[in-house]
Chain A
Amino acid sequence: MIVRRYQQPIVNYVGRMVREREAALDISQDVFLKAYAGLASYRPEYKFSTWLFKVASNYMIDYWRKKKLPTVSLDAVPEDGEDDRPIQVAAEGPSVARQYELTELRGRLEAAIGRLPAALRELFVWRHVNGLSYEEMAEIKGIPVGTVKNRVFQAKEMLKTMLEERP
């Protein structure tokens, strides 16, 4: 059954977007129902998982719109190259690697992901939690691959900055 095959990736994605397990399970159910209702729009020449994530992404946009929560459009983040400055070399202060063990780092990273702007969070989760390729993400969002890469890099830099802040 399709649900059993794709439930874990969809719940992982939705869960990181809404940051609440029960809500994530409810929304994921709705996503599968929406996909079922829209099966006629699926074209077999594309990967089914890509289409399913597109359904889920559109559902999340509607969800935030209905809840009147702020969603950050990709237009609101800097254009390619704006954040392409050389690394800041910190002479002092603990680095992320020195501050936390890997397990603790994952816990703090989970919290930091929730503080990312939604548009960047979505791409970061797809890349690192769902393991989507940049090409798949570009197809889902209908934007160039280069733009997707830049947004994912921006998300990582924002996370790094958040993790460097002392709790």
Chain B
Amino acid sequence: MNHLTPNRIYAYLDGDVSAPDRRDIEAHLAGCGACRAAVAERRLLAQAADGLPPIEIPDGFAAAVAARLPSRAPARAARKPFLLRPAAGAAGLALFVLAGAAALVLGGANLPDFVHAAGRFVRGNIEGLASLLARGAGYAGVAARVVGKLLGQLLEGFRVLSSFIGPEVQVACAAGALILAVAGFALWRRRPLTEKDHEE
């Protein structure tokens, strides 16, 4: 009598034999004590293996893995939002300028004179502030004076420029700046969502 092979026994225990083969095996087992013992022994080993206990995992395991995950902040910075965020500030400033200019034009005021006066006011205050800071802290004061002078030059240049451009053109320029700023802000708001955004 040919005994069963181990592979055939394992396939039988796995239920991985055809119906005719199963009948043949069971017929053989009915008359062969050695093979019955071999099957029983392998079945017991399979039961022991299937019941091996799980390895204990500490509570903080998942948190420890999460803590080691690379930060996703650099990916967010790579999108260079700094190019778009100032657009929101610019939109507010442009709106302020546009509203002021519109009020002046509607009120019949001379826009160039107003801009010049405003420039002098701002320059005077900046120079005064710069002077105060200069008395208190050497290098910071010097830097502030330089910045103040630069701003003064800028405002003076703006005054000269405004004397050549009519109020209507100034208002149109301000409106254009406002539209650009609002468009930039809208683009920033509609940017693609990132994984971090999803988490938030």
A12 engages B35 (CB within 8 Å): no
Are A3 and B61 in touch, CB under 8 angstroms?
yes
Q: Is the CB of A7 within 8 A of B62?
A: yes
Residue of A with least CB distance to B67: A29
Question: Does A36 sit within 8 A of B, measured CB to CB?
Answer: yes
Task: Tell me whether chain B's interface is mostly helix, strand or loop, or mixed.
Answer: helix
Is there contact, CB below 8 Å, between B61 and A102? no
Contacting residues of chain B (47-64) with chain A, CB-CB under 8 angstroms = 47-58, 61-62, 64
- Alpha-carbon gap, A87 to B8, bound state (A): 10
Main DSSP-derived SS at the A contact region? helix
* Chain B residues, Cβ within 8 Å of A83: 6-7
A-B contact count (CB 8 A): 112
Q: Please pick, from B5, B45, B53, the residue contacting A160 in the complex, using a CB distance under 8 A.
A: B45
Is B65 in the interface zone, CB < 8 Å from A?
yes
CB of A33 within 8 Å of the partner chain: yes
Tally of B interface residues using CB under 8 Å:
41
| B37 contacts the other chain (CB 8 A) | yes
Per-position contact with B for A76-113: 1 when CB-CB < 8 Å, else 0? 00000001111101000001110000100110011000
Contact A25 B38, CB 8 Å, known A32-B65, A33-B69: no
In the complex, the answer to whether B65 meets A29 with C-beta atoms within 8 Å is: yes
Say whether A25 contacts B41, CB under 8 Å: no
**Which of B6, B53, B55, B62 makes the CB contact (< 8 A) with A24?**
B55
Q: Is B189 in the interface zone, CB < 8 Å from A?
A: no
Question: What is B's interface to A at a CB cutoff of 8 Å?
Answer: 2-11, 16, 34-35, 37-38, 40-42, 44-58, 61-62, 64-66, 68-70
Closest 5 A-B residue pairs measured CB to CB? A128-B49, A86-B3, A15-B55, A3-B62, A89-B34
